[in-house]
Amino acid sequence: MKRVAFLLKVRGDKVEEYKEHHRAVWPEMLEALRRNGWHNYSLFMREDGLLFGYFETPESFQAALGGMAKEEVNARWQDLMAPYFEGLGGAHADESMIELEEVFHLD
C-alpha cells in the first residue's frame, strides 16, 4: 500500500460547518472512495482550518484521484465542499491536492 498525505486550508468561518458535513458523509461517497482504493482515509484539522489528509491506496495518488474523478457522486460532493476551502482559485479541492513527500515511516 502506498501512503498518501496532503494539505488543504478550510476557511476559518467555515470550520465547524465543514466538520459537521464530515460527521455524516454520504454513504454513496464512502462507497466510491473504497471502490477507488482510498483506505484508512483520515482528515485532521487545526483550529485555524489547516487540514491534513492521509490515506493508503494500492496504486498511486494519481490513480486514486483519477478513479474518483469518474464518480458522479464525487462531482456533487466536490461542488458542495468548494465554498469551504481557501486558495483554490475556482478549482475543486480534489483538483488542488498536492501530495506531501514521505520522509520517514516507522514500520
| Active site (catalytic) residues | 22
User: Rounded distance, CA 86 to CA 34, Å?
Assistant: 27
- Which residues make Cβ contacts (< 8 Å) with residue 38, sequence separation at least 6? 55, 57, 64, 68
Cell of 15: 470550520
